Amino acid sequence: MAQSLSFPTDEIKTLSPLILAHIGDAYFHLYVRTRLLHVTRNITRLHEFSAQIVSATAQSKTYHALENFLSDAERDTFRRGRNAKSHAPRKATVAEYHASTGFEALLGELFLRKNFTRLDEICELAFNAAFKEITP
């Protein structure tokens, strides 16, 4: 990975969970969009599928489906993100939005720690769970 994207490991725990969620959100968007290329090359379908999969509602459901698959440390990161003060959601319930923020914070921390194997495992499980929900 490029040196310019490197972040000191000892500083990760000092970051706001909302910053971790910001990074995790960007990573998950890119992961989903890339992963969907195996499903369709139609740009309209790509957009529709990705918007549904990365929605707060879908991420909340996904987290609850994966919860038992996570380590204690991963659940702690999720809780930090879920409990962070943030703005009011537009298209989801408050509980869904908070769970989504927790899920994104987890992905952000894994990315900054360069734990790409685990990040890929969680994203693939999340993608499959969410994709199953939106397709007949």
Which positions are catalytic? 25
Residue 20, SS3 per DSSP: helix
Distance, C-alpha 111 to centroid of its chain: 10
Distances (CA, A) of 40 to 18, 29, 44, 49, 136: 32, 16, 10, 10, 15
Give the orientation angle of helix 94-112 with respect to helix 17-36, to 10 degrees.
Answer: 90
